[in-house]
Structure 1
């Protein structure tokens, strides 16, 4: 049974300029490239790119990303005026067909927006998918996301597993791999074989298994639910309603 795994990182209202977001993107893609050569080059859409390429090549530097974010601002339907507090969006990929995709939404500071996110989708087939869905590489990727974007939380899971584990519409999601910011609170003792690793001074990485966990495996579901319950008792799962951004 095929399950669509993804990495999702989420954080609340944070007022940042296009340049500040671009500096985070520069660090993010630099760290990704260090994880594996498959992440060395990224592409974006647009008219007129050479058809032998996956898209327009994107330079992983702040100057390039600032321009992309400025082009990716949300605008009103009438008049196409920039909606400043909804931040910036961009979508890139690393290959023509069997690709990893990254969707970024950052700089949003409206308490009524959809929230800031970094989403990474592995290929749906092929050796690249198998390679990426291994604990050592995906742990490094998740650590890169946490280091660059400083989210409130992030996780690697399948959409089917999220549907089974999530109890409320708005909560911290727990996956096969989970990142929790120190802002959320203290991580309680968790049962073996969970490993807890620090991500600098930012937070903790929880590794529930050395293999990708799936919703089709009842043991995986039960163990993920148990960890979620322990984190919930420690006050780490419920997310407060967002208020105005700082700054």
Structure 2
């Protein structure tokens, strides 16, 4: 089995109503459907694959308002949580996890997408053009502080912590409020995501923890970002 690649966006406490979260969720799924055809059909999670395949839903604002009115999708004092998957067998599909609407100083809201770890899905989806569109969908829908796309093993080797905001991935996004991204060594590219923030692309080729050059580059970039004050936990003040 190949490495586990995932995309995740995080933001600190931001209290939002069910209607506001529903609109963001609908926008996210709509943008996600334009990233790849696999993201055009979704199912609620359930205790078995057979049961989940009976829970197909259309990811509209009205659907999410209904979901977030149900107790099973409410989280904490004022937040909402939700998970869905694409219906593909085994590790060939995708899964979304959402946690939104919670306020408070120590709260971290999130949107996560796990990619296939087996072919053909991993070959079609774990490609830079698709991943870049996924991050942009997360940013435009959720307006996070920080976002990342990375293989899990790479994260484990370049960072002593898994805390959001404290490491660099294949793609790493910083909101404008997070701080200005400094000049980074080649082949790193920095792209603007509309007026929201900056997307750091570590390498144009597929990032792999087994590639020693990728690990060296990742640690070097982390050092530069740390010196610029950009490596800090989501929710902490810069």
TM-score, shorter chain, exceeding 0.5: yes
Q: Do residues 73 (structure 1) and 67 (structure 2) align? A: no
Q: Do residues 64 (structure 1) and 63 (structure 2) align? A: yes
Query: Bigger shift: 164-173 or 148-157?
Result: 164-173
Change in Cα spacing, 1:99 to 1:233, as seen in structure 2 (3 Å) is same
Q: Do residues 186 (structure 1) and 180 (structure 2) align? A: yes
| CA deviations over 1:29-57 (Å, ceiling 9, x no partner) | 111111121111111035899x4973411
Query: Bigger shift: 52-61 or 226-235?
Result: 52-61
Q: Do residues 121 (structure 1) and 100 (structure 2) align? A: no
How many angstroms apart in 1 are the aligned matches of 2:86 and 2:205?
24
TM-score, with length taken from structure 1: 0.87
What is the CA-CA distance between 1:206 and the residue it aligns to?
1.0
Q: What CA RMSD, in Å, does the superposition of the two structures yield over aligned residues? A: 2.2
Change in Cα spacing, 1:239 to 1:47, as seen in structure 2 (3 Å) is closer
What is the CA-CA distance between 1:70 and the residue it aligns to?
2.7
Runs (5+) with no aligned partner, structure 2? none
Change in Cα spacing, 1:241 to 1:106, as seen in structure 2 (3 Å) is closer
Change in Cα spacing, 1:48 to 1:226, as seen in structure 2 (3 Å) is closer
Whether the 8 Å CA contact 2:176–2:197 is kept in 1: the answer is yes
Runs (5+) with no aligned partner, structure 1? 75-82
Whether the 8 Å CA contact 1:53–1:96 is kept in 2: the answer is no
TM-score, with length taken from structure 2: 0.90
In structure 2, the partner of 1:220 is 214
Change in Cα spacing, 1:167 to 1:148, as seen in structure 2 (3 Å) is same
Q: Do residues 90 (structure 1) and 82 (structure 2) align? A: yes
SS in 2 for 1:238: coil
